Amino acid sequence: MKYVVVDLEMCGVPKLAGEHGKQLRNETIQIGAVLVDEKYEIVSTFNTYVKPELGYLDYFISKLTGITKADLNDAPYFEEAIDSFMDWIPDGDVRCVSWSMNDMHQLKKEMEKKNIVNTKLTTLLDSWIDYQVPVDEKLGMERNVSLEEALIATDIIQNGKAHDGLDDAYNTALLFVKMEKNPDFELNKMYSYAKEEITRELSYTLGDLFKGMMVAVG
């Protein structure tokens, strides 16, 4: 079994963007992915920007993701980007992994609304893994934690920047690999202590405590 860890970045679609715009709230503008082999080793990466057909890159999304209009000008449209992505994924027993199911739902809906058919992607969508669920369980949280918080809790130093498709996919892959190789590893002691304090209804949050904190690889 191989695993493809996926992260998408998206832009908004105006309500008056034609027939499909009425049904699509977002459009994919970046696909980042990391291939993990049977030994839970990272072996390859994939990254492409995607030129939107209905939406547009506004100031907020550009600042959040670091994606510029220049990045999208010569980028492939969604169908071509998906074909390239599927060509990169090896044949055989492969499952996709992401942080929450949002990216799976986006791909499924965008394929449907743009009348795109890709049998390989459809198969992957049907067996998608939401890795936020086991991480929440490992951290003992009833709420959904952010990827950044999960990296801190598991002593993984974040690579790159948040909201970059490839960087987020790579960091999720690091988390996936660590938990699958050693599911019994201990959480960052400071994180565990902070979580205990929060259950005593102290006024600060985990984000306050760990803001700017640098952690060592466990």
**Radius of gyration (C-alpha) of the chain in whole angstroms:** 18
Concatenated DSSP letters of 54-114: S----HHHHHHH---HHHHHTPPPHHHHHHHHHHHSPSSSEEEEESSSHHHHHHHHHHHHT
Angle between helices 165-181 and 132-139 (to 10 degrees): 60
Predicted confidence at residue 203, as pLDDT, reads 47
CA distance 98 to 130: 6
| Average confidence score pLDDT of the chain | 89
Query: Average pLDDT for residues 62-71, to the nearest whole number?
Result: 97
What is the tens place of the pLDDT at every residue in 199-208? 555 445 555 5
pLDDT of the residue at 37:
98
Average pLDDT over residues 6-19: 84
Q: Say which range, 4-13, 125-134, 184-193, has the weakest mean pLDDT.
A: 184-193
Contact 52, 61 (CB under 8 A): no
CA angle 111, 113, 117 (to 5 degrees): 35
- pLDDT confidence band for 43 (50 / 70 / 90): very high
Helix ranges (DSSP H) in the chain? 18-21, 59-65, 69-73, 78-88, 102-113, 119-126, 132-139, 147-153, 165-181, 189-198, 206-210
C-beta contacts of 103-106 below 8 A and 24+ residues apart:
103/6, 103/7, 103/8, 104/128, 104/130, 106/8, 106/10, 106/26, 106/28
8-state DSSP, 159 = P
Give the CB-side neighbour count of residue 160, counting CA atoms within 13 A.
15
Instruction: Give the pLDDT score at 216.
Output: 45
Distance between alpha carbon 196 and the CA centroid of its chain, in Å? 28
Residue 127 DSSP label: T
At residue 207, the pLDDT reads 57
Q: Is residue 178's pLDDT more than 80?
A: yes
Domains and CATH numbers, the chain: 2-186 (3.30.420.10)
**For residues 158 and 148, what is the distance between their CA atoms, to the nearest angstrom?**
8
